Structure 1
Amino acid sequence: MTSAEEILPQPERALPRTVDRVVARMREIGAALPPRDGVAVFNQVYLSVTEEVGRRLTTGYFQDPGLAEELDVRFAGRYLAAVDAAAAGRRPPACWRPLFTARAHPAVRPLQFALAGINAHIGHDLALALVDTCRAREAEPAALEGDFDRVGDLLTLLEERIREELMPGPDLLDVADPLTHLVGSWSLERARDAAWAAFRGLWGLRGLPDLAEEFAERLDASVGLIGRFLLTPLD
């Protein structure tokens, strides 16, 4: 059987620069992996979010569609870079390592894979993508806040759908399932708030690169710790 490293996109490929290209990459990754693979589970979740963002770029949903697209592409690029690093045998950021390590574990459930990927991406990558976008656009954080909240609203709706689709049933037994207690300890809304706070902290430290780097490294490690908790084998 072909290994995950062999079937994922090659790391030499440049990262996408439009939402449409991001969607194409995610579809390619999803088509190449077994559905039960932990990365494939998260990839499908993230693909549906990115497709929705792409649809809303032309509907007036975002205050600044160009800025929103750049943020979305830079954000997605950090996930795709982690995929490429794993495919090349390199270590991805600490926040992503639990997912790539546990991706084939038979006692980790699909909902855990989905939430661990969301945790890594929101908890670590989002703050850095916001900083990158502000620097590239020579913008202040306030310019991104409105569309940041709009994307957050889409993510919240998606999280509810994920929990409904991937949480095991029947409902009467959910309260006794350890998964219910595990995922109930993590909140997308709190993760979003923490990401914005981390972004403001990094932006405030932009003139102190050594401190900013240390801050980012500690953020990466702490988000990775949460990811290991979310991927606790339950069966």
Structure 2
Amino acid sequence: MAHSEQSTVPGRGIGSVIARMRALAEALPDRDGVAVFNRVYLTVTEAVDTGISSGRLGEPAQAAALDVRFAARYLAAVDAAAADDRPPACWRPLFRCRHHPGVTPLQFALAGINAHVGHDLCLAVVDACRVLGCAPEELEDEFDRVGDLLVALEEQIREDVMPGPDLLQVADPLTHLLGCWSLDRARDGAWSAARALWALRGLPTLAGEFVQRLDAGVGLVGRMLLTPLPLPRTGRTVVPSPGARAR
């Protein structure tokens, strides 16, 4: 991984997070699985920044606190992988399979979203609550608004990257594989996990075990999403990842 990936996020604002992800986008090859997810996540973060600036995301301080801490979890995983450390279990499948020729861009994007929403989001909610001195329920509106953006983005990703509709047969391995995962369910699970983890904040040993089990479970789903598929058949092409630049 390029040296530029190893720098920490300067400052604490959304602008610095966006700058870091843009630097990653420039440093990584387009077909790299981490680059595919990074482009997706950059789009989300830019949309959140616009929403906060326009007032569409409610209380700016709460929305920014949640978004920055959410992004920091992903960037910490990037830094760990770049330093040859072990990132959280939820992220390991993506980093291990990032160059696999049998994994499609859509799989990379959804595996990253799975790790980030299934594991990182609940921890980001708790982090933000500690900083803001509030309970998760006070961040529910911001959580829902960011979640709505993620759902809209996932729908766009599927449209942009999924093979043409004539190829989406029930028996198609990609169709079957991706039908086993739902962003809505992952988001609901993240909210429940955040509330449970907040309730366990006075029991650090139990809270640590809860996070460890959550991490392992999300990692298992990530490995499933990144199952290598047969090489493209005649007439079937793997569509480039969304936002990919010509090189």
If the TM-score is normalised by the length of the shorter chain, which range does it land in?
over 0.9
What is the letter of the counterpart of residue 63 of structure 1? G
Counterpart residue type for residue 56 of structure 1: G
SS in 2 for 1:181: helix
Matched letter for residue 218 of structure 1:
R
Distance 2:78 2:105 in 1: 18
Partner of 1:136 in structure 2? 131
Q: 1:16 Cα deviation (Å)?
A: 4.4
1:152, 1:212 → 2: CA distance? 24
Q: CA deviation at 1:27?
A: 0.5
* 1:213 pairs with one of 204, 208, 216: 208
Please report the TM-score for the alignment, with normalisation by the length of structure 2.
0.90
Q: Which runs of structure 2 are paired with 1:1-235 in the superposition (5 Å)? A: 5-11=1-7, 13-14=8-9, 16-169=11-164, 171-175=165-169, 176-235=171-230
2:233 is matched with which residue? none
How much has 1:96 moved relative to structure 2?
0.1
Q: Equivalents in 2 of 1:49, 1:14: separation in Å?
A: 17
CA distance in 1 between counterparts of 2:221 and 2:4 reads 26
1:31-76 Cα offsets, whole Å, 9 max, x none, are 0011000000000000000000001112121221111001100000
> Quick check: 2:103–2:229 contact (8 Å CA) kept in 1?
yes
User: Contact between 2:6 and 2:78, CA under 8 Å: does it hold in 1?
Assistant: no
TM-superposed CA distance for 1:141, in Å, is 1.3
**In percent, how many aligned pairs have the same letter?**
64
SS in structure 1 opposite 2:5? Answer: coil
> What is the aligned partner in structure 1 of residue 245 from structure 2?
none
Mind listing any 5+ residue stretches in structure 1 that lack a counterpart?
none
Q: 1:7–1:32: 8 Å Cα contact kept in structure 2?
A: no
Does 27-36 or 56-65 show the bigger shift?
56-65
* In 2: Cα distance, 1:73 partner to 1:112 partner: 25
Deviations 1:197-234 (A, max 9, x none): 00011011001010000000000000000000000000
The amino acid across from 1:108 in the alignment is V
Q: Is the 8 A contact 2:58 2:142 kept in 1?
A: yes
Structure 2, unpaired ranges of 5+: 231-247
Q: For the residues of structure 1 that align with 2:11 and 2:74, how far apart are their CA atoms?
A: 12
Say which SS state the counterpart of residue 90 (structure 1) adopts.
coil
- Residue 238 (structure 2) aligns with: none
Give 1:99 shift: 0.1
Measured in 2, the distance between the counterparts of 1:98 and 1:84 equals 16
- Preserved contact between residue 15 and residue 77 of structure 1 (Cα < 8 Å): no
Aligned with 2:134: secondary structure? coil
| 19 and 216 in structure 1: CA distance in 2 versus 1, 3 angstrom threshold | same
Letter in 2 for 1:19: I
Aligned 8 A contact 1:22 1:73 in 2: yes
